Amino acid sequence: MRLSRQGPSLFVQTPAKLNIFLDVVGRRQDGFHDLETLMVSVGLYDSLRFSPAADGQLTLKSHSLSLQIPPPPEGPRNLVLKAARLLQQESGTDRGAEITLWKRIPSEAGMGGGSSDAAATLVALNEFWNLQMPASQLHDLAAQLGSDVNFFLDSHPAAVCTGRGEMATPLRLGKPGCFVVVKPADGLSTPAVFSVLGLKPGEGGPSPSRDPLPERLCRLRGEMIRNDLQTAARSLSPAVERCLDELQRLHPAGTGLTGSGSACFALCRSVREARHVAGRCRQRRLGQVWVLMTGT
């Protein structure tokens, strides 16, 4: 995430993520699922601007920067406002903010857009309101907002995330990864995809034996790509099914689903290969298509 001052305002750019692998370890007593997942941030960014407002007032205006993305909700359901309220309550500040959000990251895609916006809001308002809240406290708030928010908080290029997904251990990527990401027109709801697994509290996940977690320095390889939610997402969405099948036919280094979908991706061996794969995906009208590199 990148922060910059613009006169009295603070401007933030915050990235999307992809899940290279996602293992569902089992279902917990609280209904959530324990996960082991390798997340990488990629170069598609939402932008947020925080400007001064009358005491305590919080407002949000949101705009979509893509014809395919409907304007995000501006009401209290938006994670940006939830994050801002939570920070106000926890810090006891009487400051307010006028927030503007420009969306490029699609929702219901498994790309972490809402979580990334929430993390950016916590980091930016901590600075904008001069709260000096320690990172550990920001992490507690992040975990209350959603399972993926913690990953974005520290701007890791890559991390292995465990627990609900909120415990992020950073790792370094030996070499940047190059992806083609395709988001079919239909989105997928995360709870709906998890519920297809049909796990009861206390029950283990679908893959009893899991590969060892990657070392601190990791090189992305096609064989690493796997996702225990993929069969469920395929069963809920013919568009995901088609997208994954078409990507595989183009023989990139690997293909997979990110998070609970509906976005799918191909890991490519070069930018040249990625441009070729992206061109084919556009020709076949699979959905919105980007060539994206991992963050640094």
Is residue 19 part of the contact set for ligand C5P (CB under 6 A)? no
Is residue 112 part of the contact set for ligand C5P (CB under 6 A)? no
> For residues 256 and 265, what is the distance between their CA atoms, to the nearest angstrom?
5
Select from 147, 258, 262, 294 the one that contacts ligand C5P (CB under 6 A). 147
Give the dihedral of Cα atoms 223, 227, 228, 234; nearest 10 deg: -120
Shortest reach from residue 9's CB to ligand C5P, in Å? 29
Annotation marks residue 148 as catalytic: yes
Scanning 143-151, 152-160, 168-176, 216-224 for contacts with ligand C5P by CB under 6 A, the matching segment is 143-151
Cis peptide before 91 (omega within 30 of 0): no
Nearest 5°: phi and psi at 192? -65, -40
Shortest reach from residue 263's CB to ligand C5P, in Å? 15
Among candidate residues 23, 46, 117, 148, the one labeled active-site is 148
Scanning 27-35, 52-60, 118-126, 204-212 for contacts with ligand C5P by CB under 6 A, the matching segment is 27-35
Select from 15, 110, 113, 165 the one that contacts ligand C5P (CB under 6 A). 165
Is residue 146 part of the contact set for ligand C5P (CB under 6 A)? yes
Is residue 79 part of the contact set for ligand C5P (CB under 6 A)? no
> For residues 118 and 139, what is the distance between their CA atoms, to the nearest angstrom?
12
Is residue 164 part of the contact set for ligand C5P (CB under 6 A)? yes
Q: Where are the beta strands (DSSP E) in the chain?
A: 2-6, 9-27, 33-51, 58-64, 97-103, 158-162, 167-170, 172-173, 178-183, 217-218, 226-227, 254-257, 264-268, 288-293
Contacts 24+ apart (CB under 8 A), 206-209: 206/24, 206/231, 207/23, 207/24
DSSP for residue 294: B
Shortest reach from residue 145's CB to ligand C5P, in Å? 8
Shortest reach from residue 80's CB to ligand C5P, in Å? 14
- Cβ-in-10-Å burial (0-12, 13-18, 19+) of 102 comes to middle
Scanning 45-53, 144-152, 262-270, 271-279 for contacts with ligand C5P by CB under 6 A, the matching segment is 144-152
Is residue 162 part of the contact set for ligand C5P (CB under 6 A)? no
Is residue 191 part of the contact set for ligand C5P (CB under 6 A)? yes
Q: What's the one-letter identity of residue 131?
A: L
- At residue 109's C-alpha, the angle toward residues 106 and 112, to 5°, is 80
Residue 42 in contact with residue 17, Cβ under 8 Å? yes
Residue 78 in contact with residue 41, Cβ under 8 Å? no
Select from 194, 227, 255, 258 the one that contacts ligand C5P (CB under 6 A). 194
Is residue 190 part of the contact set for ligand C5P (CB under 6 A)? yes
> For residues 70 and 79, what is the distance between their CA atoms, to the nearest angstrom?
16
Instruction: Give 35 or 292: the residue with its C-beta nearer to ligand C5P.
Output: 35
Annotation marks residue 103 as catalytic: no
Is residue 255 part of the contact set for ligand C5P (CB under 6 A)? no
Residue ranges in contact with ligand C5P by CB under 6 A: 32-33, 35, 146-148, 164-165, 190-191, 194
Active-site residue set = 17, 148
